[in-house]
Structure 1
Amino acid sequence: MKNKNFVRNLVGTAILAALVLALQLLLGSLKLGPFNITLTLVPIILGAVLYGPLSAAFLGGLFGFLVCISVISGNDAGGFMLFSQKPVITLALCMIKSTAAGYLSGLVARSLAKKNATLSLFLAAGIAPVVNTGIFILGLLLFFQDTLVLWANGQDKVVDFLLFSILGINFTTEFLVNLVLVPILARILRNLRFVKQELAV
């Protein structure tokens, strides 16, 4: 039984990894404001809900790696600007924020799944963009203050920029997309044989 579950989790994670690749490569450059809006958190959260924190951390790490490629190549203009100033910190930030988003989402999903499956699903969907964006903002404040001031058009406008641009547009869009799509997709996956036992919503 353990081997069967391991194989099922491995296959499911591989399918979600292919979805991460497809979404990031095809839709990774959707822009709303100065940063990219990502749909790639959706399969990461599904991995968290269906297969746990390690699967979600792997999917988050894959997402972070793809973002690193986009940053280095210049496809992500804002990321490339950060990379040109502090390359190691920028790449570490890309990897840490997405991997942590997946892992913590998985921890939340696993800890609450038996108590309240629906609540665990919505909290997992919400925690991923909170962690992803939160670590990014923390990184900007700690390591890229001059760039943050430049993007905000002045020191006195940094708070407004964070609230109304990064949090107001980018984060809110990602947060709402996850809260809508993840429960719908989870309900669809519930009826599939290879996830039927893991998800009861």
Structure 2
Amino acid sequence: MRKEKKDTRWMVSVALMAAIIVVLANTPLGMIQLPIIKATTVHIPVIIGAILFGPMAGAVLGGVFGICSLVSNTMAPTLLSFAFSPFMSTTGFAGVAKAVWISVGCRILIGVAAGWLWILLQKLKLNQLIALPITGFVGSMVNTVTVMGSIYFLFAQQYAQAKEVAVSAVWGLIMATVTASGIPEAVAAAILVTALGKILIAAVQRSR
């Protein structure tokens, strides 16, 4: 009975986090204005969910994030939607598989990486004020590095055509995106995960 109650609580908690992801992904709340760029916040619930409920929850929430990204890039295509929506593929089944990997697979990795990193840091007995920002920063960078890295390795030719540059210039553009967008997003994630995580961890512990 106790195990069933725990499993039900886990499912309800993950469902609530998933609902937050859907809201963020479909409203302006999913972006925060930084001095130079707009940083996404949709991966924040993925990281926090992985911390609170484990790597499996992180994987589920990352999958929800990925599906939202896939749907968004299908319903409102942008210049780079070919890399995120299988329905925008111009290279057949291979392109479909690559797009699903980038939009969904890479986002699942956010939750898995954040969840296992948190477990490791807890075993090392790191203070929450150290472990939370590390997990937030790394989880965010996993998103940026895996997505942009996959675009480089899987869609370099198409990316070059979309940006109207030579293929040789793609690496520089990828690194510029990681530096200009990925790092500020990771810093924002570290701050938000620390602020929200400490409160939510205490709330979850009290409810057990």
TM-score when scaled to structure 1? 0.82
**Alignment match, 1:112:** 121
Q: Provide the aligned length of Structure 1 versus Structure 2.
A: 194
The aligned amino acid for 1:10 is: M
**% of aligned pairs identical?**
22
In structure 1, runs of 5+ residues without a counterpart are none
1:162 aligns with 2:171: no
- What CA distance in whole angstroms lies between the structure 2 residues aligned with 1:131 and 1:100? 7
Partners of 1:81 and 1:91 in 2: CA distance: 8
In the other structure, the counterpart of 2:7 is: 6
Amino acid at match of 1:162: I
Aligned pair in 2 of structure 1 residues 5, 111: CA closer, same or farther (>3 Å)? farther
Letter of the 1:149 counterpart: A
The answer as to whether partners of 2:59 and 2:110 remain within 8 angstroms in 1 is yes
Change (3 A) 1:179 1:12: same
Aligned equivalent of 2:100: 91
Kindly report the root-mean-square deviation, in angstroms, between the aligned alpha carbons of the 2 structures: 2.7
1:163 Cα shift? Answer: 2.1
Q: Read off the aligned partner of 1:146 and give its amino acid letter.
A: Q
Separation (CA, whole Å) in 2 of partners of 1:31 and 1:121: 20
Closer/same/farther in 2, CA of residues 61 and 28 from structure 1, 3 Å limit: farther
**C-alpha displacement at 1:153, in angstroms?**
2.4
1:143-195 deviation per Cα after TM superposition (whole angstroms, max 9, x unaligned): 2111233327234433331222x212221232111111011001222442x34
Give 1:102 shift. 0.8
